[in-house]
Amino acid sequence: MNRTILEVTDLRKEYSQRRGLISMLTGQGRVIPAVDGVSFYLRENETVGLVGESGCGKTTIGRTVLRLTDPSSGRVVFDGRDITNERPSDGEIAIRIRELLEQVSLKDSKLANFPSELSGGEKRRVGIARVLAVRPRLIVADEPTSALDISIQAQVVNLLRDLQKDLGLTYLFISHDLPVVELVSQKVAVMYLGRIVEMGLAENIAHQPRHPYTGILWSSLADKQTTEVNRRVDDVTVERERRTWGVFDFEQPVSGCRFAPRCPLYKDKGSPAVCTDPASEPQLRDVGHGHVVACHFA
Ligand SMILES: Nc1ncnc2c1ncn2[C@@H]1O[C@H](COP(=O)(O)OP(=O)(O)OP(=O)(O)O)[C@@H](O)[C@H]1O
Ligand code: SF4
Ligand SMILES: [Mg+2]
């Protein structure tokens, strides 16, 4: 089994958002728990898909893992090194830039130039230096196939696969495109309102989901696939989903299971108290072969 390259433990990220004149003036805003206690790991050379509806916190996880955003709390360990609070020092960055300039045969003096002041050849060298700079081993691919037609999507997926094979890359693959996620990922994590609610092998998540949210997410895909044929029908489906699901909102108070207000299983079971008990928010538990689910009735 490949070794673990990325380990994320109890990651939390809160944003404060200021809305309206009063919050601007008072400096007080609402707090958004965009990522609310997420743990997962990636093994070297594997692809883990990260799915969930818009605003559930996927990009925030990606940016926090890459250290483009500071976490509020939690731990990110990359290749055995705790990088949660790590930043390269200005000295380190300057040395690396100089190494790269040398590698692509550009003079130090070019550092002060704007792009429009570089020749075409120099721009190419800068482009090559940017690729070399990252020496990537882990790639967070956030919506890499969105807004592309099917044939270009296939090219992108194939390119990502080839690069993974050639360079031994590991991917965290964030996408709304569930068929693509299922195709490229060994494992898939499903997010709902800032938390992972289910994670397991891609085929199990897609075909034998244990969490009611995952089931709904994938069955809404089946609706959409049939409507590929007819765009008008698709519009109706999206509108129907919008009406059924309501608006996704972090301001809804969470009491017990955060999916309860929309959960069909909760209704089928006659609204059991355990689902809305503030003291028993369902935690991820192993239901076999590393498949984890956060539902009292999974
Ligand atoms: N820089 C920010 N400042 C304040 N709030 C933010 C910021 N970035 C994200 N958020 C909020 O955090 C929540 C999670 O956002 P995020 O972009 O991680 O969602 P997502 O799952 O990637 O959504 P999508 O599928 O639409 O890309 C949202 O409510 C969003 O409005
Ligand atoms: S814990 Fe209850 S409300 Fe939450 S997903 Fe399971 S059945 Fe639904
Ligand atoms: Mg996003």
pLDDT in tens, the chain (298 residues): 789 999 999 999 999 876 666 666 666 677 889 999 999 999 999 999 999 999 999 999 999 998 889 999 999 999 999 999 887 677 888 888 898 898 888 898 888 898 899 887 788 788 778 767 777 788 888 998 887 788 888 888 888 888 888 888 899 999 999 999 999 999 999 999 999 999 999 999 999 999 999 999 988 776 665 444 344 334 444 444 444 444 445 555 568 999 998 999 999 999 999 999 999 999 999 999 889 999 999 8
**Relative to the CA of 257, which ligand 2 atom is closest?**
4
Closest among 52, 13, 48, 9 to 211, alpha carbons compared: 52
What is the per-residue pLDDT for 210? 96
Q: Please check whether residue 143 is in contact with residue 172, taking contact to mean a CB–CB distance below 8 angstroms.
A: no
- Beta strand 30-43 pairing with 4-17: antiparallel
What is the per-residue pLDDT for 205? 96
Ligand 3 ion local residues (Cβ < 5 A): 59
The two three-digit tokens of residue 137, written as one number: 């081993």
Does the pTM exceed 0.85?
no
What is the per-residue pLDDT for 257? 95
**Relative to the CA of 69, which ligand 1 atom is closest?**
1
- Domains plus CATH for the chain? 4-17+29-79+137-293 (3.40.50.300)
**Site residues for ligand 1, CB cut-off 6 Å:** 15, 17, 32, 34, 52, 54-60, 250
The number of the ligand nearest the C-alpha atom of 53 reads 1
**Relative to the CA of 63, which ligand 1 atom is closest?**
18
Which residue's C-alpha comes closest to atom 8 of ligand 1? 60
Task: Give the neighbor-by-neighbor strand order of the sheet with 187-192.
Answer: 138-142, 170-174, 47-51, 187-192, 195-201, 292-293, 285-286
What's the maximum distance between 2 C-alpha atoms anywhere in the chain?
72
What is the per-residue pLDDT for 244? 43
Which residue's C-alpha comes closest to atom 26 of ligand 1? 54
The two three-digit tokens of residue 251, written as one number: 């301001």
What's the 182 CA to ligand 2 centre distance in angstroms?
A: 24
Query: What phi and psi, each to the nearest 5 degrees, are found at residue 292?
Result: -115, 145
Q: Which residue has the tokens 């958002």?
A: 17
What's the 12 CA to ligand 1 centre distance in angstroms?
A: 13
